[in-house]
Amino acid sequence: MMIPTPIIWLMGLSAVGKTTTANFIAKELESGGEKVHLLDGDDIRKVFPTGFTKDDIVAHIRRVIYIANILNNHNIIVVASFITACKEAQQIVREMINPERLLFVHLDCPLDELKKRDTKGIYKKGHIKFDSPEGADIFCVDTLRNSPMNVCRKIILKLKETREEA
């Protein structure tokens, strides 16, 4: 059986380490000869500006998943890093990405620490709405107790386990 090419979807609040983790994962996979493409929330919003209502977020996530699936269908591993704040957006990820290909990762960290890391001023504005993800398909990693490299290692290990099971 052919091992599916994964889409690694990193979600979590702002300043949790999604972009840093995505970059570490991409470098690690590329060093092993894999073709990898990053889709980062900040970068994508520069190209496709959108609002922050629940409907805006869900529509934005749909567009990103469409792009991720195109890349993935060409055997490119996609590492997507998006807040994915509401349950509706999280459900869209589950519905639009083949579950055999999806590694759904919640990067978690206490809010007090995230406020200290906040370089964008998001927490000062009070923008902290996030529906904690639920489900057996969620792989959760604590970014307070793990260095970015260790977070990357845990995700790569989970990815290897998942690919071996396929």
The CATH number of 7-163 is 3.40.50.300
Closest CA to 106 of 78, 125, 70, 130: 130
Residue 165 in this model has a pLDDT that exceeds 80? no
Helical H segments across the chain, by residue range: 18-31, 41-47, 54-73, 87-96, 111-117, 148-165
Mean pLDDT over 129-151 rounds to 93
Mean pLDDT over 111-125 rounds to 90
d(CA 27, CA 31): 6
Give the SS3 label for residue 89. helix
pTM above 0.85, yes or no: yes
The packing angle between helices 18-31 and 148-165, to 10°, is: 60
The pLDDT, as a whole number, for residue 2 is 45
Confidence of residue 163 (pLDDT cuts 50, 70, 90): confident
